[in-house]
Amino acid sequence: MIKKKIAMVGAFAVGKTSLVQRFVRSIFSEKYQTTIGVKIDQKEVHINGEDVTLLLWDIHGEDDFMKVKPTYLIGSSGYFLVADGTRADTYDTALKLHEMASSVTKNAPFILLINKSDLQDTWEITENQIENLIQQDWQIIYTSAKEGTNVEDAFVQLTQSMLQNQ
């Protein structure tokens, strides 16, 4: 069976762990629990006629207390940049992490997930900011780990891109 590593990177409290837990275990918790270091989960999927084991590297959030080590991304076939739509600064963090991630993974496929789409009324990330990235051919998906919106789709789309890229 094919094994593929996917890294989840982004600022703290954007919902990386919640997205993984929603995808792997179909659960969601309102309580914010900070991730220390790395938590690796696995999920088997059947995509494009192939059985694929996804190794999901849920990497701690980036902030002044903890910086993401580039080595954590080694061997990733693809990665998710995760931002919290309600916090403008998480967009900047995602862009910064993208520079590092694309360099380490040698331009592996990625998707920017703008999470917390259930709170879209209070989003600080603007349509202009999103439009700018779309102009640069970025793939962007609005997700809600809380409601499960687009979570499965996001993982399927990234896996398809990774399989095409291999």
Partner 1 sequence: MNRPEFTAAITDYIISKIPPYIGLAILQLNEDGQLINWMGSIDKYLDKKPDKHSDIETLAPFLTGMIPPMINPMVLPHIQIKTGHYAEIHIVEDELMHFWVFFVDQTRNAEQLQQLLQEVNSTRLKTKETQNQTDNNHFSAFHLLDFATFIYENESYKPLGNQPVWMKELQQARLLSEKEVAMTEAFPFIEVFQYEAATCWEGKSDAKIESGIWEEETITGRQIYLKAIALHHDQINYLLIRSVNREGRQDNQLIQKAREQKLTLDQLARTERELKKLLDFKNQFVSIVSHDLRSPIGAVIGIANLLLQDEDMLQKLNENQKELLNDISDEMQRLLDYNDKLYHWSNLELGNFKIHLKNFNINELGAYVERMQQMKLKQKSITLVQDFENKSNFELLADETLLGQALNNLVGNAVKFTPEGGTITIGSRVNKGQYEIFVRDTGIGMPESVRIKLFEGFTRKSTMGTFGEKGTGLGLGIVRKIIEAHNFSIHVESEEGQGSNFIISIPAAGEKP
CA angle, corner 62, sides to 121 and 113, nearest 5? 40
What is the residue whose two structure tokens read 């990497």?
A: 59
The answer to whether 138 and 164 are in contact (CB under 8 A) is no
CA distance 163 to 160: 5
Contact call for residue 136 and partner 1 (CB under 8 A): no
**HSE of 54 in the Cβ direction (CA atoms, 13 Å)?**
26
Among 2, 24, 28, 38, binds partner 1 (CB under 8 A): 38
Residue of 2, 13, 140, 156 interacting with partner 1 (CB under 8 A): 13
Least separation in angstroms between residue 5's CB and partner 1 is: 8
| Least distance CB 136 / partner 1 (angstroms) | 27
Residue 118 binds to partner 1 (criterion: CB under 8 A):
no
Q: According to the binding rule CB under 8 A, does residue 27 interact with partner 1?
A: no
Considering only the stretches 64-72, 108-116, 138-146, 158-166, report the one whose residues sit in contact with partner 1 under the rule CB under 8 A: 64-72
Alpha-carbon Rg of the chain, whole angstroms? Answer: 15
Site for partner 1 in 68-97 (CB under 8 A): 69, 71-72, 74-75, 87
